[in-house]
């Protein structure tokens, strides 16, 4: 399909939370959602950077309805505080987008390996705390969109060393966290279906998009060589961030987007192009791994979901 941002339906009256909304895929998704009338709550680690991004959007879209809120996915305290500030605010869509990629090993405020903690556990906790805000059993359809990566295909969930304390490779840790994103999205969909909920859980990936995400690892390692190499690769191979945001926007707004699906760019090597439904890795469909990861994630974060054990299947 040749779906673009021009195909976004009217979003007037919809309230959407976007994590990591101040840059990259999150910024471009926020821009297009606001352009089409949505109220967007920009959940950002830095309020200052969030306000700068909001001002940039408003310069382009003067009537954009934006609200910047602090939410550090690397801190359960910050996530709880964000959810508390929202209170019983009605929500229509949550876009779990914020993330870090291939950084040197570090830990979150709660002692989790940073990539697993931010990319997966933070979003697991946030989704659980906000789930009832989406009125998942009402007639109006709500959506939880979780942004993964094609790199999830090399990922494995190492329950014996989930926090990579025994050995650490930045790309292996990133791949594990991105596989966890897909496993979570599918498991959430199964539980929603089992509960006869109208809410949908959808996984997406942006392909290879030109964002600042690729530079975080080289910058934290202090490697000018790798930073230059990333700049060259982004310049030559990557598609613009606005294109990378299309699978996210499709999953969040397209009436035909399906729960339990995985959407990404349909062009060369699934790295660029307009969105299409795709199959994720074989490991991502392992229901035993997904259920175990769910239980571990709940134990680690202390967040539980008012959803039954899954009976419904999610297929490729």
Q: What is the pLDDT of residues 243-262, one digit of tens each?
A: 999 999 999 999 999 999 99
Token pair in block for residue 125: 């906790």
DSSP state, residue 118: I
Nearest to 305 by CA among 197, 158, 146, 231: 197
pLDDT in tens, 174-189: 999 999 999 999 999 9
Looking at the DSSP bridge assignments, the partners of residue 95 are: 18, 145
pLDDT at 4: 98
Helix then strand then coil, in percent of the chain rounded to 5, is 50, 15, 40
What pLDDT was estimated at residue 227?
Answer: 46
Burial class (CB in 10 A: 0-12, 13-18, 19+), 209: buried
* Angstrom distances, CA of residue 86 to CA of 8, 23, 98, 125, 307: 26, 22, 18, 15, 21
Select which of 168, 174, 262, 285 is catalytic: 174
The DSSP result for 219-245, as a single string, is HHHT-HHHHHHHHHHHHHHPEEHHHHT
Compute mean pLDDT per 10 residues along the chain, 316 residues long, and list them: 94 97 97 98 98 98 98 98 97 97 95 98 98 86 96 98 97 97 98 95 92 56 55 60 97 97 92 96 98 98 96 65
Secondary structure E strands in the chain = 15-19, 39-44, 65-70, 93-96, 143-147, 200-204, 209-210, 239-240, 262-265, 275-278
**Which three-class secondary structure state does DSSP give residue 251?**
helix
Predicted confidence (pLDDT) per residue in 88-113, tens digit: 999 999 999 999 999 999 999 999 99
Helix, coil or strand: residue 112: coil
- What is the model's pLDDT at position 225? 58
Q: How far apart are CA 210 and CA 212, in angstroms?
A: 7
Catalytic residue flag (residue 263): no
Consecutive H or E run containing 31:
helix 24-35
If DSSP codes are grouped into helix, strand and coil, which group holds residue 213? helix
Residue owning tokens 């390692």: 221
Integer Cα distance of 30 and 18 in angstroms: 7
Predicted confidence at residue 38, as pLDDT, reads 98
Cβ atoms of 29 and 105 closer than 8 Å? no
The pLDDT of residue 137 is: 81
pTM for this one? Answer: 0.92
Nearest-10 Cα torsion for 106, 111, 113, 118: -100
């Amino acid at each position: 399909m040749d779906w673009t941002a021009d195909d976004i339906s009217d979003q007037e009256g919809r309230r959407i939370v976007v994590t990591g909304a101040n840059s990259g895929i999150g910024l471009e998704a926020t821009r297009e959602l606001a352009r089409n009338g949505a109220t967007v709550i920009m959940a950002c680690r830095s309020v200052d950077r969030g306000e700068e991004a909001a001002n940039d959007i408003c310069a382009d879209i003067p009537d954009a309805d934006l609200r910047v809120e602090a939410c550090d996915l690397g801190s359960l305290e910050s996530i709880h505080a964000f959810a508390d500030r929202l209170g019983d605010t009605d929500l229509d869509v949550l876009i779990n987008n914020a993330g870090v990629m291939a950084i040197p090993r570090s830990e979150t405020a709660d002692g989790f390996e940073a990539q697993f903690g931010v990319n997966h556990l933070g979003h697991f906790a946030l989704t659980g705390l906000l789930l009832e805000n989406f009125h998942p059993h009402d007639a109006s359809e709500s959506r939880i969109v979780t942004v993964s990566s094609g790199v999830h295909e090399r990922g494995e969930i190492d329950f014996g060393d989930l926090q990579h304390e025994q050995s650490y490779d930045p790309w292996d840790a990133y791949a594990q966290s991105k596989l966890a994103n897909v496993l979570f999205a599918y498991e959430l969909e199964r539980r929603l279906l089992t509960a006869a909920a109208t809410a949908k859980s959808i996984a997406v990936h942006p392909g290879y998009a030109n964002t600042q995400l690729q530079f975080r690892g080289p910058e934290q390692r202090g490697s000018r060589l790798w930073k230059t190499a990333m700049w060259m690769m982004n310049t030559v191979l990557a598609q613009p961030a606005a294109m990378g945001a299309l699978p996210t926007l499709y999953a969040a707004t397209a009436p035909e987007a399906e729960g339990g699906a995985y959407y990404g760019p349909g062009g060369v090597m699934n790295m660029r192009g307009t969105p299409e439904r795709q199959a994720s890795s074989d490991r991502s469909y392992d229901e035993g791994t997904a259920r175990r990861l769910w239980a571990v994630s709940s134990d680690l974060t202390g967040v539980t979901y008012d959803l039954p054990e899954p009976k419904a299947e999610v297929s490729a």
